[in-house]
A = this chain, B = another copy of it.
Amino acid sequence: MSYDTTTPAPAVAPPLGVGMVGYAFMGQAHSQGWRTVGRVFDLPLSPAMAAVCGRDPEAVRTAAAKLGWAAAETDWRALIARPDVQLVDICTPGDSHAEIAVAALEAGKHVLCEKPLANTVAEAEAMAEAARAARARGQVAMVGFNYRRTPALALARRMVGEGRVGTLRHVRVTYLQDWLVDPDFPLAWRLRKEAAGSGALGDLGAHAIDLAQHLAGAPLTGVSAQTETFVRERPLPDGGALGPVTVDDAALFTGRLESGALASFEVSRVAAGRKNALRVELNGTAGSLAFDLERLNELEFHDHATDAAEAGFRRILVTEQEHPYLEAWWPPGHGLGYEHTFVHQARDLVRAVAAGTEPEPSFADGLQVQRVLAAVEESAEKNSVWTPVPVSPDTV
């Protein structure tokens, strides 16, 4: 017998219309997330890819057809206004986050905003304030620190919460890439302060800071920093002339968590041979954890209570049903990839929308990261002097 399933079965979840702004790298990754999430996870709401927005009419239309969005818009205000859009997903460069997010929240929409939350603390504060106000109206807002949704890092957070590392002494995060080693790489938007806010710091450092605070369960209270731009001029994207690079190539900073643990950070886009090397290590009184994004299905764990003769870092292949997010995926040993973090992000956000609960990371969390970024820049300008980070009462 044949069954037509285009008519939704009665049990199908009510739809949640999503509108996305931006369709470059991040927009493509988010599209994968929205397209897949309901096919793998059981969700209380069924995400519908309502419309995507971009400035170039031809290009956005092509992108919509390619990525599976039902409609295309050229004005983000029109996107926000669409009645079939209940959630606005912001995948643009950082300089437009605040304006779009605040408008969407004020229009009664839920918001997912790519990281870093904004280019300045002031913008981030406005966004967090808008989110707080919207929260009272039942809306949710989440910032896209997607690496929290790597199963291995979600497991790391769970293990820290269970006390498996004891009292934390050290958090160590390096995030290294190498696409700027080549001095002929052009002066793209990510290399201009007015668009990107900062360089490796905002791009990679924002992830590093968020993960450190999230995994440790405590905010950073101060930092000491250095930043550097090794290649000071690069070819303009549209021709041979050189223009000034106005963001950092690399940033090094040490910090202190509210819990007393020491933290160290190094981010760079000129570390030859490192492609997406986000490495996180936690050392505590009861154990240690280590992670490398280039081997994202693995988490290393040392249990300090094990007899010395048998102790060692064990490589947990984070592909078991018992692991975060894995209940819906493949049998053990069949690893996931980078893009699955966006599927998981979509899952958690949809659940938060349905339940009316605050999603993590919230805009307040994003603001806190922004404050650390600002403190890093301030310390780097002031001879690396220790620079306190104001801590909001509602973060981490």
Q: Which residues of A contact B (CB under 8 A)?
A: 1-6, 8-9, 12, 25, 29, 31-32, 35-36, 39, 51, 57, 60-62, 64-75, 78, 82, 155, 159, 165, 169-170, 172, 174, 176-179, 181, 224-226, 228, 230, 249-250, 252-254, 256, 260, 262, 264, 266, 268, 270-277, 283-288, 293-297, 301-304, 307-317, 319-323, 330-340, 383-386
A65→B307 CA distance, assembly (Å): 35
**A320 x B308 contact (CB < 8 A):** yes
Whether A316 touches B312, Cβ cut-off 8 Å, given contacts A2-B71, A39-B67, A73-B1, is yes
**B270 x A1 contact (CB < 8 A):** no
Q: How far is the CB of A194 from chain B (nearest CB, A)?
A: 23
Which B residue's beta carbon lies closest to that of A249?
Answer: B169
**B273 x A283 contact (CB < 8 A):** yes
A83→B69 CA distance, assembly (Å): 28
Whether A332 touches B283, Cβ cut-off 8 Å, given contacts A4-B71, A35-B39, A315-B313, is no
* Number of identical protomers: 4
**B226 x A262 contact (CB < 8 A):** yes
The answer, among B71, B283, B302, for a CB contact under 8 Å with A270, is B283
The answer, among B6, B68, B331, for a CB contact under 8 Å with A70, is B6
Q: How far is the CB of A174 from chain B (nearest CB, A)?
A: 7
Whether A294 touches B333, Cβ cut-off 8 Å, given contacts A39-B66, A288-B271, is yes
**B250 x A169 contact (CB < 8 A):** yes
**A3 x B271 contact (CB < 8 A):** no
List of B residues within 8 angstroms of A31 by Cβ: 39
Which B residue's beta carbon lies closest to that of A71?
Answer: B4
Which B residue's beta carbon lies closest to that of A63?
Answer: B5
Q: List 8 additional contacts besides A5-B69, A31-B39, A293-B333; criterion CB under 8 Å.
A: A170-B268, A177-B332, A224-B224, A272-B288, A273-B304, A312-B317, A334-B337, A335-B338
List of B residues within 8 angstroms of A250 by Cβ: 169-170, 262
**A61 x B312 contact (CB < 8 A):** no
A335→B357 CA distance, assembly (Å): 32
The answer, among B169, B254, B286, B335, for a CB contact under 8 Å with A294, is B335
Q: What are 11 A-B contacts with C-beta separation under 8 Å?
A: A1-B73, A3-B57, A35-B36, A159-B310, A169-B270, A274-B333, A275-B317, A276-B334, A295-B295, A308-B322, A313-B315
A67→B39 CA distance, assembly (Å): 5
**A312 x B273 contact (CB < 8 A):** yes
**A61 x B385 contact (CB < 8 A):** no
List of B residues within 8 angstroms of A177 by Cβ: 332-333
A1→B73 CA distance, assembly (Å): 6
The answer, among B68, B276, B296, B304, for a CB contact under 8 Å with A181, is B304
**A283 x B272 contact (CB < 8 A):** yes
A66→B323 CA distance, assembly (Å): 22
**B36 x A32 contact (CB < 8 A):** yes
**A51 x B2 contact (CB < 8 A):** yes
Q: How far is the CB of A55 from chain B (nearest CB, A)?
A: 11
Q: How far is the CB of A274 from chain B (nearest CB, A)?
A: 7
List of B residues within 8 angstroms of A172 by Cβ: 174, 266
List of B residues within 8 angstroms of A293 by Cβ: 333
User: Residue among A12, A316, A323 with the most chain B CB within 10 A?
Assistant: A316
**B273 x A311 contact (CB < 8 A):** yes
